[in-house]
Structure 1
Amino acid sequence: MSELPTDHSGLEYIINHVFCPLKLPQASDHTLQNDLALSQAVLDAAQAFNDQLPSDKQQLWASSFKMLQNLQDSIRFSVMSLKEVESQINAMDDEDVLVFMIRAQNAAVVMRKLESETIFESFEISPDPAARRAEKLIPLFPKRGTQLTPRYITELLTGILRGLGSIADVPRIRKRIGDDVLWNNTKLPWRRSPLWLVIRVALQTTLEAQCSWTSDI
């Protein structure tokens, strides 16, 4: 059962941003409540998927499910909560993954905690409109990766990670983002949900990374 009820507006938002039907809104439909409805729909689907997995595969999926739960907790606020971020980082176990959507910087940061290091990845979540109009974009995600020993996690800002860490060899993927800019007599244009991109990239790269780590054992 969903923790958050999805009203008609939330359901329409999910349909438009996940499936991109032929007729899309001509103005921004983004609200915090709609983002939470989208996040909850993903969590419900992830739980249903988990219920169908054999018991020996559920452990691999557990870290992805936990990541989605933490993402929903972090986007409940219009401005990122320092307390929530610190709580999630402090609670990380080996092989846990966190993803934070930083709206003000138009970016997402992914943290992957391994036994002897923590890998940080980052990518842009909403391409520049001018670049978007030029042609269909198929960008590479994540854009950057940096690894640090675990003792530095809560002491550093993202901007100095590369200076104190080293370049990490992280799995990268290409995605057709379907980020149309639709604008008809309105203040803000309709653009596909950055949250939906963050969810897709975080899930796919996490599953690919798990397969890589498992094959190395």
Structure 2
Amino acid sequence: MNESILNHLFLPHYLPSSVDDDYFLQNNHQYEHMILEYMKEYFNQLESTKETSELPIFSALINCVKHWSILQNPQTCTEANLQSTIMKLTPGNFLPFYFHAQNAAILIEIEKKNVHRPLVSSWQVLLPTQEITSSLVPHFSCFPVTTYRLNDRSQLSSLAHCELLVDFMRNTIEYSKSYKASPQVNETRNLPESYYVCQWWIQQFEGIKIKSKSNRSIQFKKKHRDQIRWNGALLPFRRSGLWMTIKVVFHIILTKRLGSIGIIIYKLLITHFLTYCLSETRSEISIDVLIHCIRKIVRRLNKIEILLSSIDANDLNEWVQLTKHQIQMKINKILPKPNWQKSIRIYEKSKY
């Protein structure tokens, strides 16, 4: 499991070639939801040190992950749990879902000033295999996507709607098609079609309207840093769509609530989380993977430094500086000793 979390968070070298060789993805992504469990444990640690009290926005993220982790787990994703969760959402709450079976995600938001008319949005999560493999040019998705306002909140909590979402979670509706020797066949080794979540799901709500764009809305792009490993496998390894969804959802929430400074908070929060995961798993991974992960964290910190020079952190500066310091301290703590290469050579010689 520890190796799997690093596969998806850091994309180290020598990734699996098949989903069957990855703990999170095997058995129809049975344990992919564990990424959210890592995130929940991370927030629990922050709460225990009272670090989250410095930024009120963290309460929205913590509640979001708390509800989301229950519903993303195949064992606890039931119509009753979903209906109960939606009905209990309070003003300011967000509720996302990632549908691996549809390659799509949705985000529900209960606004403080419009409690009875929630906002909903949906998007395709991963790009089709041919798009990723056919070009060396980087691929991006733009956010936030079009947001819609429901006419009545009860449409979300109806039993029929909850049954529909659970079905989206469990069953793929359609795969892309190809023609082989004339018959049309499902490309089950490719990603499912996201149409039913991204378009049909939105259109089936009565009285739904497009929400007008706010002047505070900040556009951003997410790069698809995907690695497709395919060596005769029935299903190729793909980077977790849930991890991609987590990053998109957090980016949306933080920039919507905090504006441009939300970009810094998002990047630092994710970097802090990556450092936490690496710190928790370092005793069970090889030195070369550890060094690879540390380098990625350091690169992220350097980019954040550049961003800080162009954005005024103001009241949040204390949290920003504290978090940067904590990341640097943890990196120094887990960084291998100067003679780590010598230790490897001694170990290699002892085997022969």
Which bracket does the TM-score occupy, shorter chain normalised? 0.7 to 0.9
Distance in 1 separating the partners of 2:51 and 2:152: 32
Note if 1:98 corresponds to 2:95. yes
Other-structure match for 1:124: 124
Distance in 2 separating the partners of 1:196 and 1:13: 12
Note if 1:53 corresponds to 2:48. no
- Contact 1:146 1:161 (8 Å CA) reproduced: no
Residue 246 of structure 2, aligned match among 195, 199, 206: 199
Deviation of 1:145 (Å):
1.2
Other-structure match for 2:346: none
5+ residue gaps, structure 1 = 1-9, 213-217
Deviation of 1:149 (Å):
4.1
In structure 1, what residue type is equivalent to 2:14? K
Q: Equivalent residue of 2:107, what SS? A: strand
- Contact 1:137 1:176 (8 Å CA) reproduced: yes
Deviation of 1:34 (Å):
3.3
Q: Equivalent residue of 1:208, what SS? A: helix
Matched-pair identity in %: 20
**TM-score if structure 1 supplies the norm length?**
0.82
Q: Equivalent residue of 1:105, what SS? A: coil
Distance in 2 separating the partners of 1:197 and 1:90: 27
Distance in 2 separating the partners of 1:132 and 1:200: 19
Deviation of 1:45 (Å):
1.8
Distance in 2 separating the partners of 1:78 and 1:185: 31
**Residues 174 and 78 (structure 1 numbering): CA distance in 2 closer, same or farther, change over 3 Å?**
farther
Deviation of 1:194 (Å):
0.6
Deviation of 1:185 (Å):
2.0
| Number of aligned residue pairs | 202
Q: Equivalent residue of 2:122, what SS? A: strand
Distance in 2 separating the partners of 1:137 and 1:108: 18
**Residues 171 and 84 (structure 1 numbering): CA distance in 2 closer, same or farther, change over 3 Å?**
farther
- Contact 1:123 1:142 (8 Å CA) reproduced: no
Deviation of 1:16 (Å):
0.5
Deviation of 1:171 (Å):
4.6
Note if 1:14 corresponds to 2:16. no
Runs of 4+ in 1 over 4 A off after TM superposition: none
In structure 2, what residue type is equivalent to 1:129? T
Distance in 2 separating the partners of 1:93 and 1:159: 22
* 1:60-75 → structure 2 map (5 Å cutoff): 60-75=57-72
Distance in 1 separating the partners of 2:44 and 2:118: 27
Q: CA RMSD in A?
A: 2.4
Q: Equivalent residue of 1:144, what SS? A: coil
Q: Which range moves more in the overlay, 191-200 or 162-171?
A: 162-171
* 1:131-150 → structure 2 map (5 Å cutoff): 131-133=131-133, 134=135, 135-150=137-152
Distance in 1 separating the partners of 2:65 and 2:237: 25
- Contact 1:123 1:144 (8 Å CA) reproduced: no
- Contact 1:147 1:167 (8 Å CA) reproduced: yes
Residue 106 of structure 2, aligned match among 109, 130, 134: 109
Q: Which has the larger radius of gyration?
A: 2
Q: Which range moves more in the overlay, 26-35 or 153-162?
A: 153-162
- Contact 2:52 2:59 (8 Å CA) reproduced: no
Other-structure match for 1:88: 85
**Residues 162 and 180 (structure 1 numbering): CA distance in 2 closer, same or farther, change over 3 Å?**
farther
Distance in 1 separating the partners of 2:35 and 2:54: 29
Q: Which range moves more in the overlay, 171-180 or 104-113?
A: 171-180
Residue 174 of structure 1, aligned match among 221, 224, 240: 221
5+ residue gaps, structure 2 = 162-200, 260-352
In structure 1, what residue type is equivalent to 2:108? M
Deviation of 1:138 (Å):
1.3
